[in-house]
Amino acid sequence: MRCGVLLLEKATGRVMETNPAFLRLCGRPRAEVVGRNFWAPPSIDDAEAGAEVFAHLRAGGRVEGAELPLRKADGSRLLLEVSGGEVADGAIQLEVRDATKQAAARMAERMDAQRWLATRVAGEFTETQRALRAAGEMLTNCARRGQAGFPEADEIRKAADRAGAISRDLQAYGGQFDLETGQVQLNELVAEMQPALQQMLGRDIQVVADLSPDVAPVMADPAQVRQILLKLAANSGEAMQHGGKVLIATRNAPAGDPALKPAALSGSYAMLEVGDDGPGLDDQSWEHLFEPFSTTKPHGRRGLGLAAVHGIVRRMGGHMWAQSEPGHGASFRVYLPRAQAEPLAAPVARAGHTGSATILLMERNDGLRTVVTNILKKRGYRVLAARAATDALEMARTEGPPDLLIGEPEPDLAGSLAALQPRLRTLILNGHSDRAAGIATLGKPFEVEMLVGKVRELLERA
C-alpha cells in the first residue's frame, strides 16, 4: 500500500488536502477528513500525543517516524508512523504509514527477550530453592523422630514454597516447563474447581459458571489449565475490592472468531473465559497488562499472574485474548486446541520407597547434590555423586556401571553410560518430556517424595 500524504494548515492543524491512500488507510470518505483537525479524534486517537507532535511542527521542527494511534471508521485502531514538516508558508506536509505490524513485531521481540531473561533467572533461582526445601524437609523429619523441635524448619519450608511459586511462574512466563499433556474436559475441570474458587474469593464475590454442554475436550496439561483458571479468578477478585461477580464460561470457538484473527491461528479451538464486573482497565494499565511484576491495583500484589498465564497458554499452543473498558469490567479468553488423541497418563508419585540399586547423580549445585545424595542413601541406594559429566563417566568406569542416571540433560554422557550398562535408566531434571523407554523427567522445583517415587518407578520397569 502506498503511504498516505496529508497537507495541513500550520496554524490550526486542519487537513487541507489528502491522497486516496490515506483515505483507504483510515476507512473514511474525503468529506470526513478534509477540513477537520488531524491531531485530535476521530483521526489521531490520542489527543495529548497528537498535540505534542503538532506543537513541535508548528514551532518549525520536523518529525521522522513519530508513532501515533489512528482510529478507523470501523472503530479499530492502527499505529501510524508519521514523518514530515513545513513545506510552504503556513502549510505542513506529512507522510503516514501503517506501522501496526512493525509495532507488533517489536512487542513480540521484547516479549521474547523478557522470556529469555525470566528463564535464566528461574533456572538459577530454582537451584537454590531445591536445596533449601530438601534441607527443610530433612530438619522436619528429624524433629518428628523425637529430637528437639526445630521451629525454623517449617519457616524454611514456607520460604522455599514461596520461592518455588515465583520460580514456577517465571518458568511459565518463559515457556520453559514440562507438560503432561492429555485430553482435558473443561466443564469437568471448572465444576471441580468452582467450590475452591468461591472459597478463595470470599462471600462478597459470586462465582458463576456458564458451561456449554457441547464444548469439545482440549489437548492441554490439566495442572496448567487449573493454574490458568486460578490466576485469572484471583486477578478478577483483586479487581473487585467491594464485591461483585466472576463469570467462568466455556464455548467452542466458532470459525472466524475475531479474537483468533490477529494471531493467524488455524485449526479448531475451545475457549475458557473468565470475566468480572469490576472497574475495568484504563489505557495505561492495558499497555502493561501482561508485563511481569506489574499490577493494575494501587496496592495490589506484584507478581507474574497474567504474564505467567500468557506463557502457559503460549506453551500449550493456545492464544489469549483480553477485553476491558473503564467501568465495565474485564474479560480474559483462553483458546486451547481441541483434542485429537487419547490422554497420556501422568506419572504417579509414591512415598516411603527403599531400594538397593546403584544411582549415578550428576548435579552441579554442591548443596543440592549433598542433600539428594543423603536422601537416596537413607532409602538404601548406593549413590555415586558427581559435579560434571566427565567426573560422572570416570566414576561409572571405576566404581561400576549405575542402574540409574539422575541429572541435567547430557546426551553424550547418557550414550557413554549406555555402552557400559545397556539397561540404564535415566531421570532428567528440569528437562522436557521424553517418553522413550527408561527415560523420565522431573521438573524443578520438586518435592523429595516425588523424586523418590520417580526413582522407584524407573528402577521397577522391566
The per-residue pLDDT for range 99-120, each reduced to its tens digit, is 887 777 777 777 776 676 667 6
Give the residue among 6, 88, 85 at the shortest CA–CA distance from 44: 6
165 with 190, same domain? no
For residue 371, the domain's CATH number is: 3.40.50.2300
Name the average pLDDT for the chain: 78
SS3 category, 461: coil
In a domain, 346, yes or no: no
CA distances from 210 to 235, 250, 275, 330, 354 (A): 19, 7, 11, 16, 48
Decide: residue 330, CB within 10 A, 0-12 exposed, 13-18 middle, 19+ buried.
Answer: buried
Residue 78 in this model has a pLDDT that exceeds 50: yes
The per-residue pLDDT for range 424-439, each reduced to its tens digit, is 888 887 644 444 555 7
367 with 316, same domain? no
In a domain, 308, yes or no: yes
Which of 9-23, 63-77, 282-296 shows the lowest per-residue confidence on average (mean pLDDT)? 282-296
Mean pLDDT of 267-274: 88
The per-residue pLDDT for range 178-226, each reduced to its tens digit, is 667 788 999 999 998 898 889 888 888 999 999 999 999 998 888 888 8
296 with 372, same domain? no
In a domain, 343, yes or no: no
Residue 142 in this model has a pLDDT that exceeds 50: yes
324 with 195, same domain? yes
SS3 category, 1: coil
Domain boundary among 304, 337, 370: 337
109 with 90, same domain? no
299 confidence band (pLDDT: 50, 70, 90)? very low
Residue 155's pLDDT is 63
158 with 190, same domain? no
222 with 293, same domain? yes
In a domain, 86, yes or no: yes
What's the CA gap between 170 and 342, in Å, rounded? 30
201 with 137, same domain? no
Residue 121 in this model has a pLDDT that exceeds 90: no
Residue of higher predicted confidence among 253 and 304: 253
Quote the domain boundaries for residue 399.
358-460
Residue 246's pLDDT is 92
Residue 152's pLDDT is 58
Residue 444's pLDDT is 60
311 with 186, same domain? yes
In a domain, 344, yes or no: no
310 with 187, same domain? yes
The model scores a pTM over 0.75: no
Residue 399 in this model has a pLDDT that exceeds 70: yes
Which residue type is seen at 448? V
In a domain, 352, yes or no: no
Mean pLDDT of 332-350: 63
Residue 355 in this model has a pLDDT that exceeds 70: no
For residue 53, the domain's CATH number is: 3.30.450.20
21 with 150, same domain? no
In a domain, 348, yes or no: no
Residue 159's pLDDT is 66
Residue 188's pLDDT is 92
Residue 303 in this model has a pLDDT that exceeds 50: no
Residue 60's pLDDT is 86
* Number of domains within the chain: 4
In a domain, 398, yes or no: yes
Task: Provide the β-strand partners of residue 68.
Answer: 80
Domain boundary among 70, 98, 126: 98
Residue 308's pLDDT is 75
Give the residue among 375, 433, 299 at the shortest CA–CA distance from 137: 375
b/e burial code for range 280-294 (CB count within 10 A of at least 16 → b): bbeeebbeebbbbeb
274 with 188, same domain? yes
% of the chain beyond a pLDDT of 70: 73
The per-residue pLDDT for range 222-249, each reduced to its tens digit, is 888 888 898 888 888 887 878 889 999 9
Sheet containing strand 205-211, strands side by side: 205-211, 244-252, 269-276, 330-337, 319-324
Residue 351 in this model has a pLDDT that exceeds 50: no
Residue 117's pLDDT is 66
Domain boundary among 148, 174, 200: 174
For residue 226, the domain's CATH number is: 3.30.565.10
